[in-house]
Amino acid sequence: MKKALMKKTVRQLSPLVFIAILFLAGCSENKNASTHKQTPEIYTVNYPLAFFAEQIAGDQANVVFPEMEGDPAFWQPSAEQVANFQNADLILLNGASYAKWLAKVSLPESRLLDTSATFSERFIRIEDATSHSHGPGGEHTHGETAFTTWLDLTQAVQQAAAINTKLDLSNSGFDKLKNDLLKLDKEWESEFAKLSGQPLLGSHPVYQYLTRRYELNLKSVHWEPDVAPDQDMWNELKTLLSRHPAKIMLWEGEPLPETKAVLEKMGIQSIVFDPCGNRPAEGNFLSTMKQNLSNLKSRP
Amino acid sequence: MGDMIYMAWRYLVYNRIKTAILILSIALIAFLPIGLNVLVSQSSESLTVRAMSTPLVIGEKGSPLELTLNSLYFESNTPPEISYSQVQRVNETNLANAIPLYNRFRSKEFPIVGTSIDYLDFRNLKLAQGRKMALLGECILGGAVAESLGLSVGDSIISTPESAFDLAGIYPLKMQIVGVLEYSGTPDDRAIFTDLKTTWIISGLAHGHQDLAKPEAATHVREKENGNIIANASVVNYNEITDENRDSFHFHGDPSTFPITAVIALPHDTKSGTLLQGKYLADTERMQIIRPSQVVDDLLETILTIQQYILAGAALTGGSTIMTAILVFVLSLRLRHSEIETMHRIGVPNHRVIALLGTEIAVVLISGIVLAAILTLLLARYGNFLIHNLLF
């Protein structure tokens, strides 16, 4: 009888005990093991920076320049491609407003390196950009800063130096790279000196820093090597030639044969001077720059 | 002993209303000071942990508490805006990494925090679903926001205009949700995170519209003058950033002058932190650099003083309740005089009667204490939730 009554009493108290036990049980903490990458991953926004980083770091870093169709300056990445950049240990930027996509994505600021910050005061501003006005913001321009900074090879050295300082490697390939670039710079200087004062044409406005460094008299049109110029473009060129009688036109890539032929008829020789913003089909940055020099030397 | 407990239990169950009042009174006497202590400890811990994990915060000179509450807990009024150049200023010292915060806009009651993705790593926030924001116009939600609004990856959320009557003011921006954070038990659960640039779009410093240089936009052009295209009022800004129009979004002016509300500075080491603080000591300095832990310590000191007063009040109330309980037991003995007489007459020894009455009191006391313990455990479990919903 007593036993049965005790059981009943315990049964009546058990919900309270159960509640107490339930709340005494804590939640276990989920500790995720942090992943650690052995070799630092460096992402770059253009090929020259990738080349510099590869030369400096060697196999001490995994340098990634994603495959980009066309000019990397105007690349439009997908969210997945941006996510790859977000996971990098270091992201090398060219600066000088290069890579318009950077203003439209989220990247970890602590891992960004603006390689041209040291000479940002010497950036060339393009003044002929179209501006427009509407709304409370008033007149504004979507104007540009010239961004092909590395075509002044002394600036290329400064960009490589910024990477070298950031990486701070004991076994750095920077000195060799610097020597190679400065040697080429002297050769370019010597060759361009032969064109001193002579009017030159650029097929595209990418040669601003080249023009300044090597004291060229170069004016540019907006032509693409693989697109035949229309009549308006030819007219624009003729107008330009009337005040800038150039005999040489520098091209980013090999122009169409028909374009080249018409230019030759006009007494203008086409020379490929590849800025090498994207990875070349053959060779590397240095060999492409040397080829540019050879192309210059091969003019009649 | 079992029979004593049974008899006592039956008596208490029979007088259930009186018993319930006594148990509840004792439970509350025990729970009030302990519960208050738990609540204060939890709120202190909650505030302190967040503050301790945030080394330095920079903002315009003003109330350090307001800056701390806005930057760490996304509460309080929006502090005065500072320019993005303050982020660059910190980074240029090479003493610390800077994380910008722009906490001005809201979607319903939830703050939209414009920052860089460094913030997610800094707070060790993990994604429950989706990915980090990658493109302009994308955002990720804190766990509580997603649950409260019933939103998930693939949905969208619209920023709330600051004033319904400001027709020419800030446009609401429809943001795409690309990720939802795991619950972290912090104010991050109740926030919407997006890239700083997206919040600048909400504020009107950047926008997207039809390319006015194209022939199809001719109806929107009022005049063209020296390469400057002046649009008429028919130009409509996009209020959603899509893959199709993302490229048309552009910023007006120099981003270094664009607004933020605070900079979280993460010094490389203690010395760097001290050196960085030293750079903001000049009399002419317009910025303040604060250690949130110090600000929170000052706040907690005030809270603890208030707690002392509350505990003193609770002690007085408790004392009077205990006296009342004793009175109830004494009066109960008088009322049960005939019952006790009957027990004596049927041969129950005096010590057994005392034991029976003692057991009844013990059961009431233990039940009251168990109830107080359960309430305390409940508070310990859901204290943070209560703190956040009651205080903020």
Of A214-228, B73-87, B329-343, the range with the lowest mean pLDDT is B329-343
- Looking only at the bridges linking them, the beta strands covering A199-202 and A248-251 are parallel
Q: Which of B126, B252, B379 should one mutate to test binding to chain A, selecting the residue with the greatest count of A CBs within 10 A?
A: B252
Amino acid symbol at B97:
N
Q: Which of B7, B132, B210, B221 should one mutate to test binding to chain A, selecting the residue with the greatest count of A CBs within 10 A?
A: B132
More confident residue, B115 or B341: B115
pLDDT at A21: 36
C-alpha B212/C-alpha B231 separation (Å) is: 8
* Count of beta carbons in the 10 Å neighbourhood of residue A64: 15
Same domain, B189 and B85: yes
Q: Which of B290, B312, B345 is the last residue of a domain?
A: B290
Is A185-297 in the same CATH topology as A41-122+145-167? yes
Same domain, B81 and B191: yes
Instruction: Find the CB nearest B117 among A9, A106, A134.
Output: A106
The mean per-residue pLDDT over the stretch B58-78 comes to 92
Instruction: Find the CB nearest A133 among B5, B230, B374.
Output: B230
**Cβ–Cβ contact A79 with B under 8 A:** yes
C-alpha B248/C-alpha A173 separation (Å) is: 41
C-alpha B390/C-alpha A232 separation (Å) is: 70
- Chain A, window 106-125: residues with a beta carbon less than 8 angstroms from a chain B beta carbon: 106-110
**Cβ–Cβ contact A34 with B under 8 A:** no
Chain B residues with CB-CB distance to A103 below 8 A: 197, 250-251
Whether residue B32 lies inside any domain: the answer is yes
pLDDT at A28: 35
The mean per-residue pLDDT over the stretch A206-229 comes to 95
- What pLDDT, in 10s, does the model give residues A11-25? 444 433 333 333 333
Same domain, B280 and B329: no
Same domain, B256 and B119: yes
Whether residue B272 lies inside any domain: the answer is yes
Same domain, B186 and B62: yes
Amino acid symbol at B348:
V
CA nearest A81 in B: which residue? B134
- What pLDDT, in 10s, does the model give residues A225-278? 999 999 999 999 999 999 999 999 999 999 999 999 999 999 999 999 999 999
Same domain, B109 and B186: yes
More confident residue, B6 or B209: B6
- What pLDDT, in 10s, does the model give residues B196-249? 999 999 988 877 766 666 666 666 666 666 656 666 666 667 788 888 888 888
- For chain A, the structural domain boundaries read 41-122+145-167, 185-297
Whether residue B220 lies inside any domain: the answer is no
Residue the block writes with tokens 């920079």: B58
Task: Establish how many alpha carbons lie within 13 A of residue A126's alpha carbon, considering only the half-sphere containing its beta carbon.
Answer: 22
- Complex ipTM, two decimals? 0.76
pLDDT greater than 70 at residue A128: no
Whether residue B217 lies inside any domain: the answer is no
Chain A residues with CB-CB distance to B231 below 8 A: 132-135
Q: B6–A109: do the CB atoms touch at under 8 Å?
A: no
**Cβ–Cβ contact A228 with B under 8 A:** no
pLDDT at A45: 97
Q: B117–A134: do the CB atoms touch at under 8 Å?
A: no
Same domain, B80 and B172: yes
pLDDT greater than 80 at residue A193: yes
Q: Domain A41-122+145-167: which topology? A: Rossmann fold (3.40.50)
Q: Euclidean distance between the first and final Cα of chain B, in Å?
A: 52
Both tokens of residue B126? 């993990």
Same domain, B263 and B374: no
Residue A79's contacts (CB-CB under 8 Å, 6 or more residues apart) are B131, B134, B135, B138, B178
Note down the domain range covering B372: 2-47+299-391
C-alpha B257/C-alpha B260 separation (Å) is: 9
CA nearest A24 in B: which residue? B377
Q: B374–A16: do the CB atoms touch at under 8 Å?
A: yes
Instruction: Find the CB nearest A140 among B213, B227, B252.
Output: B252
* Count of beta carbons in the 10 Å neighbourhood of residue B93: 14
Instruction: Find the CB nearest B195 among A76, A106, A140.
Output: A106
Same domain, B10 and B145: no
DSSP H or E run through B303: helix B292-335
Same domain, B9 and B155: no
Same domain, B171 and B259: yes
pLDDT at B387: 65
CA nearest B10 in A: which residue? A9
Q: Which of B4, B6, B7, B235 should one mutate to test binding to chain A, selecting the residue with the greatest count of A CBs within 10 A?
A: B6
Amino acid symbol at B351:
H
Percent of chain B predicted with pLDDT > 90: 46
Instruction: Give the CA angle between residues A50, A54, A59 to the nearest 5°.
Output: 140
Total number of domains constituting chain B: 2
Same domain, B266 and B366: no
**Which of B159, B201, B188 has the alpha carbon at shortest distance from B54?**
B188
Instruction: Find the CB nearest B6 among A5, A86, A140.
Output: A5
**A63 to chain B, closest Cα gap in Å:** 21
Question: With contact defined as beta carbons under 8 Å apart, do B42 and B390 qualify?
Answer: no
Percent of chain B predicted with pLDDT > 70: 88
Whether residue B33 lies inside any domain: the answer is yes
Whether residue B190 lies inside any domain: the answer is yes
C-alpha B208/C-alpha B249 separation (Å) is: 4
Question: With contact defined as beta carbons under 8 Å apart, do B31 and B373 qualify?
Answer: no
Which CATH architecture fits A185-297?
Answer: 3-Layer(aba) Sandwich (3.40)
DSSP string, B23-88: HHHHHHHHHHHHHHHHHHHHHHHHHHHHHHT--EEEEESS-HHHHHHHHHSS-SSPPPPEETHHHH
Q: Which of B290, B311, B346 is the last residue of a domain?
A: B290
Whether residue B151 lies inside any domain: the answer is yes
Task: Establish how many alpha carbons lie within 13 A of residue A292's alpha carbon, considering only the half-sphere containing its beta carbon.
Answer: 27
CA A153 to chain centre: 16
